Chains A and B, each alone.
Chain A
């Protein structure tokens, strides 16, 4: 049985298929209410995340399945020093599918090697977060209708922002996409991401430290939070956290059909006043997350 560890585990055709299923779920939710009856999802969250965990749980409940799990390492046997491998070997005996978030990079991959049930990476440190990417792609598809030819601006913490890396990887497979990478010098996209997904495929990209200078070009603006937990040093965090704040004033020069995305939670990088602008799509995006996770759970459980 397959797992989803990295967004690149899915081919573009499989992503299209998941998006189509998610859109069908949105249009005909009644068809899907018992698709996962008697199936159990274990949410193993070694790091707190309200949104992603609730989204997974809501997805499974809406498919008629049930959920079990824990929401922080302190309430799991990891607090007693149990390894990821052992935890998963046990949980694999109780659940039909596992969604795992872990602060260590690669933990879900280790998990998938130690159990026969499918494992979904729900975020591994600053590394990957494929279901957020699926959510982002579904949002872009629903809001823009297509992926090709879009100019995608990514803004904020592009170094530790795992959602950014996965989105770059996924979007790089669609034709005529342009990237505009907007970040402080200290938080630029890591070279391995740039080498593997942008330079290798000769995708046009621009790297800048100024959001104002590029906002007029963008079809998509993907804002990210500068996360305190990714810094080793508090001073660096405080210096950089307010670098890129989106306000209504900055949006004056943006396209009228710009689509503003954010993986949430937001701290202050998007002013609250922007929420009422029709270009703000981030709350819709969070809702789309449930539907794409429903589609993914069905696919991995091989439910027709």
Chain B
């Protein structure tokens, strides 16, 4: 399968197979005017299968979303057909305005204008908890 290479933009590589659509949605990529390619189940030496997202524009990507949805992602920044930066994304310590707390007793359910913040409480099991009420992120 061939997808045109991009001249200036971002390639999000080594996404855990099946997670690309979740990232597409959480990064609001549907709002972009440029070309976006989602490649699902691409063969990978390292992972067996992987997903890839190619974005044909230099947008700011929220790296914490990537790390949260699928740790060990690689982000390649492309300028004039060259990879000018390669970032390996790990599990973020903190998630700001990415998730919402589901606890009906949490202050975030009623207070307007505050950030929704989750902190990594158990890296081994990828558990995040709301900093306000300690409820586990779902």
Contacts and interface: CB of A to CB of B under 8 A. Distances in A.
Interface of A: 83-85, 102-107, 109-110, 113, 124-127, 192, 195-196
A127 B130 CA distance: 12
B72 interface: no
A83 B106 contact: no
B108 interface: yes
Interface stretch (B8-16, B76-84, B109-117): B109-117
B113 A104 contact: no
B5 interface: no
A127 B122 CA distance: 20
A104 B130 CA distance: 13
Contacts of B97: none
B133 to A, nearest CB: 4
Contact of A105 (B105, B121, B122, B136): B105
A96 B137 CA distance: 36
Interface string B92-128: 0000000000010111111111100000011000000
A97 to B, nearest CB: 21
B105 A125 contact: yes
B129 A192 contact: yes
A4 B35 CA distance: 50
Nearest to A111: B107
8 contacts: A84-B111, A102-B107, A103-B105, A104-B107, A105-B106, A106-B108, A127-B105, A127-B134
B132 interface: yes
Nearest to A102: B107
Contacts of B103: 105
Contact of B133 (A106, A113, A196): A106
